[in-house]
Amino acid sequence: MAEKNIPEITIAEFQQLIRDRYYPTDSARGAPGTFLWFAEEFGELAQAIAEHHRGDEGSRERLEEEFADVLAWLTTLANITGIDLTEAVHRKYLDNGGPEGTK
């Protein structure tokens, strides 16, 4: 899905990037405060999806920004709670054939 001129990044690399840039501030805020920020970003993503669905001008760019923000805040929560996202994804979705049923 990545455009040809955009280098790929692994989950682990992204998690480390977020840790390197934001961990001191994020850990001081703690998981409850960080979750509130995450919830706000999640709401902004919902608005961006609605705008995109309506065909609003510039909605694609905003949608991309909000997806990136939600991913960054989710990664922040993983960092401050000690969760390795690569390991979590493997355990949940890749090991032993992944979960049964539909998502």
The range of the structural domain enclosing residue 72 comes to 33-78
- 64 versus 99: which is more confidently predicted? 64
pTM, two decimals, is: 0.87
DSSP state of 89: H
Does some domain include residue 25? no
For residue range 47-79, list pLDDT tens digits in order: 999 999 999 888 899 999 999 999 999 999 999
Q: How far apart are CA 1 and CA 17, in angstroms?
A: 21
Cα angle for residues 84, 92, 19 (degrees, 5° grid): 15
Does some domain include residue 71? yes
Domain count of the chain?
A: 1
Does some domain include residue 38? yes
pLDDT at 1 over 70: no
